[in-house]
Amino acid sequence: MKLYRFLSGPDDSAFCHKVTAALNKGWHLFGSPTYSFNAETKTMMCGQAVVKDVDGKDYEPGIKLSDY
């Protein structure tokens, strides 16, 4: 199965660690990162899509993507 996640958060080291953790679990960057301003919180927000192929498993809507 092919899995897709969109990671997002404030533009800080925690976001970078979130993406780094996913990469170290075998996820791969998909597309370009996004960057936008949240006017309500007055902070910059980041986003990055990641994908992963998992052999021998079938997709089910109830799976917890972060377990992979």
- 44 in any annotated domain: yes
- 34 in any annotated domain: yes
> In a 3-state reduction of DSSP, which class is residue 57?
coil
- 64 in any annotated domain: no
pTM tops 0.75, yes or no:
yes
- Total domains in the chain come to 1
> In a 3-state reduction of DSSP, which class is residue 10?
strand
- 68 in any annotated domain: no
Q: How far is CA 25 from the centre of its chain?
A: 12
What are the per-10-residue average pLDDT scores of the chain (68 residues)? Answer: 97 96 97 96 96 95 91
Give the structural domain span for 30: 2-55
